[in-house]
Structure 1
Amino acid sequence: MIELKNINKSFGELDVLNDISIQFEAGKTNLIIGQSGSGKTVLLKSIIGLHEVDNGHIYYDDRDFTRMNFSEKKLIRKEMGMVFQGGALFDSMTVEQNVLFPLNMFSDMNESQKMERVNFCLNRVNIKDANHLFPAEISGGMQKRVAIARAIALNPKYLFCDEPNSGLDPVTAILIDNLIQEITKEFNMTTIINTHDMNSVMEIGEKIVFINKGHKGWEGTKDEIFNTDNDSLNDFVFASELFKKIKKTS
């Protein structure tokens, strides 16, 4: 579990996050949604320590991340996996080398153990016979799956995904959503997904947090979204005619 208590973050005179408190649960896909500029990306970066918060606390299973020194935070970061927007694979490395990268950086495994782990992770995301291909030689959907394999290489307790469906066709996006949800449950990870994809919300939104102008505007499940009277959330989620029709029939 990851818990945020009264988080505030400003850049100069600009208040970006205001008194945000949330619990992200283990074994569930926790989604952060909101309009561009709402603060959701700053929130995700604050949770993983890329931004230092001004006030408040971030707890990783009762460990106060905001009060740790550099060495202590480094230990927590070994328990994190990250799927970046666009995949962010190393172009000059093969598929195998990309997944191997965090193992070389942070694990004490021998070479045989590392390769066993690489192949396990690639098999888990249904990547076969592609170890020696480069990112440019595989599809966008395969690149995202390799990025997920790299993110779980160190068997993390916490998985962070920043717009994992960005640039994917709808069918492939659903496959990536389902894969993330499967491994979340399989490994009982605390998964936090930053997304603007409403299909993801409806498919895998076990817990959804809506960030609105730097505040926590709403939280609940994908089923509860259909019955909310939160006008800002309704305007955001049901902006398209398709989702308006879904709401009317729910």
Structure 2
Amino acid sequence: MIVVEDLHKSFGDAYVLKGISTTFEKGKTNLIIGQSGSGKTVFLKSLLGLFIPDQGKIIYDGKPYFDMDDDEKIELRQKMGMVFQGSALFDSMTVEENVMFPLKMFSKKPMDEMRERADFVLKRVNLPDAHKKYPAEISGGMQKRVAIARAIVNKPKYLFCDEPNSGLDPNTAIIIDNLIHEITREYDITTIINTHDMNSVMEIGEKIVFLKNGVKEWEGTKDEIFKTDNEAVTNFVYSSELFKKVRQMYIEEKN
């Protein structure tokens, strides 16, 4: 679990995060949504420790980040997995080498154990035969699966995903969403996903935090988002005709 209390962050005169408080629960897919410029990326990077907030607390399983010494912070980072927007695979490494990279960085396992662990997670993301291929030789959807395998190879407690569906066709995006959701449940990870994809919200949004201009405007579940009267949320969520129809169907069904 990650608890955020009154988080503020500015860059010069730009006041980006304005007192955000929320809780991200373990074993659930927690989504951060909002328009461009809402503060989503700065919020995510603050959770990762890449940005230092001006004020507030980030508490990882009961331990405030700023109360940790250097060794504890290093240990925390080793418990974090990250799926980047563009997959961020190393072009010169094979799939297997990409997945083993965190093991080489953060563990002292012998090579045969690293290969065994890489093989296990590649099978878990349904890539049993891609070990010796290079990123350029596999599809975008397969690259995302490799990125997920790399993110979980060190058995993280926290999984962060930045726009994991970016550049994928709708069917592949759903597969990636479901895979992240399954892994979150299976390994009881605290998963936080930064996304603008409303299909992801409807598919796996167990906890949704909606940001607007650096403020937490609303939070709830994928079911509660249909019920809200918050105008900022409804304008964002139902900006497309498809979701307007989905909401109307939901309202009629409930009535």
Same fold (TM over 0.5): yes
Deviations 1:99-123 (A, max 9, x none): 0100000012111111110000000
Q: Which residue of 2 aligns with 1:75?
A: 75
Question: Take 1:123 and 1:6, find their aligned partners in 2: how far apart are those partners?
Answer: 41
Residues 1:160 and 2:165 are matched in the alignment: no
What TM-score does the superposition give when structure 1 sets the normalisation length?
0.99
How many residues are paired up?
250
Deviations 1:153-189 (A, max 9, x none): 0000000000000000000000000000000000000
Deviations 1:209-234 (A, max 9, x none): 00011000000000000010100000
Residues 1:32 and 2:26 are matched in the alignment: no
- Residue 223 of structure 2 aligns to a residue whose secondary structure is helix
Question: Take 1:174 and 1:126, find their aligned partners in 2: how far apart are those partners?
Answer: 15
Question: Take 1:67 and 1:43, find their aligned partners in 2: how far apart are those partners?
Answer: 20
How far is 1:132 from its partner? 0.7
Residues 1:44 and 2:50 are matched in the alignment: no
Most deviating of 217-226 and 66-75: 66-75
Q: Which residue of 1 aligns with 2:225?
A: 225
Q: Which residue of 1 aligns with 2:113?
A: 113
Q: How is 1:6-25 mapped onto 2 (pairs within 5 angstroms)?
A: 6-25=6-25
Question: Take 2:148 and 2:66, find their aligned partners in 1: how far apart are those partners?
Answer: 27
How far is 1:73 from its partner? 1.2
% identical aligned pairs: 65
Residues 1:64 and 2:64 are matched in the alignment: yes
- Residue 20 of structure 1 aligns to a residue whose secondary structure is strand
- Residue 88 of structure 1 aligns to a residue whose secondary structure is coil
Deviations 1:91-146 (A, max 9, x none): 11000000010000001211111111000000000002111110000000000000
Q: How is 1:89-238 mapped onto 2 (pairs within 5 angstroms)?
A: 89-238=89-238
- Residue 112 of structure 1 aligns to a residue whose secondary structure is helix
Question: Take 2:10 and 2:70, find their aligned partners in 1: how far apart are those partners?
Answer: 22
Q: Which amino acid letter does the alignment assign opposite residue 15 of structure 1?
A: Y
Question: Take 1:245 and 1:86, find their aligned partners in 2: how far apart are those partners?
Answer: 32
Question: Take 2:203 and 2:80, find their aligned partners in 1: how far apart are those partners?
Answer: 24
Q: Which amino acid letter does the alignment assign opposite residue 71 of structure 1?
A: D
What TM-score does the superposition give when structure 2 sets the normalisation length?
0.97
Q: Which amino acid letter does the alignment assign opposite residue 30 of structure 1?
A: N
How far is 1:68 from its partner? 2.7
Question: Take 2:111 and 2:88, find their aligned partners in 1: how far apart are those partners?
Answer: 24
Question: Take 1:175 and 1:104, find their aligned partners in 2: how far apart are those partners?
Answer: 29
Q: Which amino acid letter does the alignment assign opposite residue 132 of structure 1?
A: K
